[in-house]
Chain A
Amino acid sequence: MPPGRPGRAAYPVVSEVGHRLARVYEGVVQDLIDELGRLPNVGPKSAQRIAFHILQADPADVTRLAEVLLEVKDKARFCDRCGNVSQDSLCRICADPRRDQTSICVVEEAKDVVAVERTREFRGLYHVLGGAISPMDGVGPEDLRIAELMSRLSDGTVTEIIIATDPNIQGEATATYLSRFLKHMGIVITRPASGLPVGGDLEYADEVTLGRAFEGRRAVND
């Protein structure tokens, strides 16, 4: 392509070499690709594909997308109590008086709340830790919302904790840490029964399996 042709700024200025996509587009298009590329699971190729999709999309659709993005940052937040995503200072679950106030299910991420809710096996409250212990990723117990959990337990209302961290190495370590931490508090600590795919991710367990795991939860005696 002859260089410097007007009106063609969106096309490659430098051709693509192998799989490496350096900053090959000009100005705002490249900015968009860079921003998209910072999203989880979006590699340089996908970022480029999404960017071109947006370039060619109906302006109304793009406006809508931009509005929702701003709105979600403006309105959505994390629940002050459990750490789940929420529209208000308390999420819908924490604000619902019909939920069993004596039981808390501890999960790694907000998306795990959705997974457990889908099973309809659990009627209590949640606590989102914000991750799992993983020294390789520099995540220790002090990086998780454990202090917040402790303060929720201080008034004695809660009598059961279900530790539903992922059934993988990091999730198991987190469960052991928590159960050791909590065991002197006179609270029943359980873990969803095995049957969950080991080495897996709670989010991807199907409803039936996860539901059954909740029914058959067992006491943690470590």
Chain B
Amino acid sequence: MKKITKATYLKWYEDMLFWRKFEDKLAQVYIQQKVRGFLHLYNGQEAILAGALHVMDLEKDRMITAYRNHVQPIGMGVDPRRVMAELYGKKTGTSQGMGGSMHIFSKEHRFYGGHGIVGGQIPLGAGLAFADKYFKRDAVTLTFLGDGAARQGSLHETFTMAVKWNLPVVFCVENNGYAMGTSVARTSKSTEIWKLGLGYDMPCGPVDAMNPEKVAEALDEAITRARKGEGPTFLELKTYRYRGHSMSDAQKYRTKEEVAEYQKIDPITQVKDILKENKYASDKEIKAIDKRVKDLVSECEKFAEESEFPDIQTMYDVVYEQKDYPFLPHKL
């Protein structure tokens, strides 16, 4: 594994803080109704992405996830201003305003979405890996899913084939404790999700995912295995989401105390503490990072605000590759 150094910690701090503040900004502009629809925020789960990016080969590896997907593409290299613009429904957005919050994509940066149907991305992740194996490329695909998604048939069908065919994919459950208002224990007798891998003879295990180092270690092993042609791994990344499922969630299913417990082991605080303990950064340097983050978030907002809405014709142009497809009229 690439060594975890002072530079890693500094990067982790800046990246994670930026993701957190980016999401906070979205919550704010959502209340102002500049961003609409559903809005699922990543706050609390940042260590997963930080750890993953440290061990991925960003020149070739791939990533796919569900609808809680604003910051992963940014981590993969997508311009955050374009992600913000997508949520504003602007033509400068990653999908020209077609996808919105749940559907961020970047072919250039090998980020394959952004999927709104729970579990829908699981076979797709295996399929991306199928093509890499087929064409003898040594890329690995990280396929993320929620604890709720682990109960979809798509996971079980995909696992059978992914193991049998030795696909270079890592399946990562981000177990944040809840699927909307449903705790893991309430709809499943088995609460240790990683054990699902056992039934498929897939290497599997739990990971403390509030800590990016732990995530990096576990993922490094899994990615190495996949790259060597030894097939998939199933990891249960134990994490927590601080905000509601989406913006309209009254959160009656959990206590404030529970949220506070997790905030004590907040990934960003953990990393910041290490920066301080090891004197990796002075207070002044940390302040400078905080300011950079704040400025970049403002820049994203400004870019999104000032961008234009797409032309009506775009709605048709993006559906088919065929240029002159004869769409039916729908009104006079």
The finding on whether chains A and B are genuine partners in a shared complex, rather than unrelated, reads: no
